[in-house]
Amino acid sequence: MAVPDCGTSLFSWNDTVNASVTKTEESDRWLYVCRGWRGTGSVPASGTGTNVTFSIMEDSTLTWLWETNVWIECAVSGDAAGSFAGWVVKDGASVVVPFETDVKRYTVATSGDTAGVAVDMAAKTVTIPADAPHAVSVTVSEVVGTGDFPLSWSDPAGFAAWSMVEEESAADGWCLKSGSVAAGETSATEISVEGPGLVEFDWKISANRGDYARVYVDGTRATNNLSRSTGWKHAAVAVEGAGPHAVRWTYERQSAQASGADAAFLDNVQWRPARTLEVSSAAGKPTPKAGTTTFYYGDEVSATVAETKPPRGTRRTFLGWAGTGSVPASGTATNVTFEITEDSTIAWNWLVEHRIEFHPSGAVGADFESAWVREGETTVVPYRLFAGYDSLALGGDTAGVALDETARTVAIPADGPRTVTLRTVKAIPLADALDAPAVGWSTDEGAAAWLGQDSDTSDGEDAATSGAPAGAAGSVLTATVPGPGTLSWKWKLVADGVAGVDVILDGGEAQFWLEEPCDWTDESLVVEGDGPHEVTFLFWNTGTAPGDHAVLDRVTWSGAAATSATQATPAPVPFSWLSGHGLAADGNYGGAAFAPAANPAYDIWQCWLAGISPVDPDAQFRAAIRMVDGEPVVTPVPDLGAERDYTVVGKASLEEYDWLPAGAASRFFRVKVSMPQ
């Protein structure tokens, strides 16, 4: 705004005039700046300020001098950075805006006030003329590559470089074209990637016969190649192994005469790193299958699980899935679809239950019969015991089953359907179980011992069963016989794994053996020469099937001095009973009979008389006594029936001296065991 106003103003002679103007004025990105004035007449000839005072004596002129500025603005975005914003003198030097980018293959798009704007891709500059206001947007975009992973391009040394072209692209936009080469020369371009992964791209060739477009990974040519002239084709090359890899595209000219564009073209290059999916499922049939499957970044994965019929005694309930990475966190369907962009896991969750059955027999009881138990859990079954047993034996599916005789529990793991039996076993001397009182018997101790039992026999009465240790030591049962003569027996082998029984005479080589499971079979061994002789039955297994065992029954001995083994000590304790318990190994049967038993409360002959084991420190003779119609009725444990006489005596008070035949007045009792008269 000028004072006086622009135009002609009238003043009187010698008036004082104060002339001024606003220094700057702006209008729609145009800026006018006053730089001074020029005058004639009474006005000073020139000045640089925005005001001037003078006395007017004659007609005069005052011209305010203005400089025109224009607003120049440039913003660089996309795969580059750079900017400029400010006032520039109109018709002054053009504004040169540099930009920075790490992208090797790119294009530049401009928008806004682009008249006269020039882009120098080599110099990485945008030049904007100062002839008018300009607001320019510059977008730098990577070309040839697509996808979520930027590509690091390079021009391999010693080869003609590839360049950007627009007219031949696979779609609207830019692509790479191989450099100009003569016959026998190659043009190459290359990217670096971190493997493993997949490179996908579109390419074509326009050339003569014998000219090739090829792709190499770390110097090894892939199977993909193009020859002569083709349209755009899509291709993919797998990059194996972790670490950096070089993927190179070449145009290799062999022909002397050019044809077509004499070039190869490359577009839409995309790097897709490998991604893993870890699948787990306790049941069913998952797709992808359980384990680790490799995909590539961006793959669409459809994961499913199909329910399959469980084995008998098992039931399954599908609970859904849990996921990490690209997999949704959870869901309840049997399928889920997702795009995989990172290492991921999916766990198909099931409730798996197994039928657990428990069957007690003999002098044992329990409140548990059967139940469905979750896989991985352990069912602890308490049991009760009654009088009249010597030991306990597990049967059925016993792998991993724990019997705690102190707590009176059986722990059954639910790693599959289980049927477990627990029965009481009455101890039967080996000589009785094997029906061979004329033979001296001895066996291992502990788990390897052969035991008399009445549950698996050939004659429906009793037999001997091997222990079941794993390894070469096996379970040993030795028969001592006078010789010569013939030892005959029945035997069987029960085995799910690798097991067998060897029969060894006097420590030599095996005379007979069983190596395949079989039912009761007869066998005989002829023993020659004066005795005594030892016939060893060795059961062995590999430990893969803990229930494997051998059973021996109906042993007979015929031959010289057979009756010597039936002799008894003065007690009288049969020699065979002593031998069957591993006693009197030195032949001193009399001394053995009167020696202390393992339970020092008894001598060995007393154990024989009472029917208890002389080698068990916990063995005791027990009896239950109840009064019936005023008379005592005794139930001995063990009860040898007619082979023994049981006499009950009693006292009304412990202060009484004599034990008299028990009657209604008796309050304290003793049971006397004796041989029948």
Relative to beta strand 175-177, strand 370-374 is unpaired
Which SS3 state, helix, strand or coil, does residue 660 take?
A: strand
Contact in structure between 603 and 583 (CB atoms under 8 Å)? no
User: 27 and 133, same structural domain?
Assistant: yes
Relative to beta strand 263-281, strand 145-146 is parallel
CA atoms within 13 A on the CB side of 633: 5
Domain that holds residue 670: 622-674
| Residues 140, 146, 151, 157, CA torsion sign | negative
- Out of 387, 406, 425, a domain closes at 425
Which of 73, 186, 185 is CA-nearest to residue 126? 73
User: 99 and 192, same structural domain?
Assistant: no
Q: What angle do CA 647, 648, 652 make, to 5 degrees?
A: 155
**Is 324 among the domain residues?**
no
Q: Which helix (H) or strand (E) holds 430?
A: helix 430-433
**Is 612 among the domain residues?**
no
User: 103 and 27, same structural domain?
Assistant: yes
For the chain, how many structural domains are there in total?
5
User: 511 and 452, same structural domain?
Assistant: yes
**Is 33 among the domain residues?**
yes
CA distance 207 to 204: 10
Q: What angle do CA 428, 442, 562 make, to 5 degrees?
A: 90
User: 530 and 439, same structural domain?
Assistant: yes
Q: Which two tokens stand for residue 285?
A: 């049939």
Structure confidence by residue, pLDDT tens digits, 440-460: 888 877 667 788 888 789 988
In angstroms, how far is the first alpha carbon of the chain from the final one? 154
User: 382 and 484, same structural domain?
Assistant: no
Q: Which residues, in sequence order, are bridge partners of residue 471?
A: 541
**Is 290 among the domain residues?**
no
- Domain harbouring 174, CATH code: 2.60.120.260
Query: What CA–CA distances, in Å, run from 93 to 76, 98, 126, 129, 299?
Result: 21, 16, 14, 7, 53
User: 459 and 402, same structural domain?
Assistant: no
Query: What CA–CA distances, in Å, run from 89 to 22, 33, 72, 83, 127?
Result: 19, 10, 10, 19, 15
Contact in structure between 669 and 662 (CB atoms under 8 Å)? yes
Q: How far is CA 340 from the centre of its chain?
A: 20
Cβ atoms within 10 Å, residue 247: 23
Rounded-to-10 torsion of CA 217, 220, 222, 226: 100
Per-residue pLDDT at 172:
67
CA distance 483 to 531: 4
User: 134 and 33, same structural domain?
Assistant: yes
The phi, psi pair for 405, rounded to 5°, reads -75, -20
User: 507 and 642, same structural domain?
Assistant: no
- Out of 526, 546, 566, a domain closes at 566
CA distance 178 to 155: 11
User: 543 and 472, same structural domain?
Assistant: yes
User: 261 and 372, same structural domain?
Assistant: no
**Is 151 among the domain residues?**
yes
- Domain harbouring 523, CATH code: 2.60.120.200
**Is 306 among the domain residues?**
no
Which SS3 state, helix, strand or coil, does residue 216 take?
A: strand
User: 136 and 1, same structural domain?
Assistant: yes
Total residue length of the chain: 677
**Is 118 among the domain residues?**
yes
Per-residue pLDDT at 473:
62
Q: Which two tokens stand for residue 118?
A: 């020039």
Which of 131, 1, 135, 136 is CA-nearest to residue 69? 131
- Out of 548, 566, 584, a domain closes at 566
Which segments of 506-587 are extended strands (E)? 510-514, 518-527, 533-541, 549-559
Residue 533 burial by Cβ neighbours in a 10 Å radius (0-12, 13-18, 19+): buried
Per-residue pLDDT at 387:
62
Question: ω into residue 484 within 30 of 0, thus cis?
Answer: yes
Contact in structure between 196 and 241 (CB atoms under 8 Å)? yes
Order across the sheet with 335-339: list the strands: 285-287, 300-306, 335-339
User: Mean pLDDT per 10-residue run, the chain (677 residues)?
Assistant: 90 92 84 91 93 93 92 92 89 89 82 91 88 92 81 91 82 85 95 95 93 95 86 94 96 91 93 97 94 96 94 93 97 96 97 94 86 95 78 85 92 93 79 80 77 84 78 77 87 88 90 89 89 88 76 85 44 75 73 83 86 86 77 76 81 81 80 80
CA distance 365 to 140: 86
**Is 638 among the domain residues?**
yes
Per-residue pLDDT at 561:
41
DSSP 641: G
CA distance 151 to 148: 10
- Residue type at 48? T
CA distance 389 to 365: 13
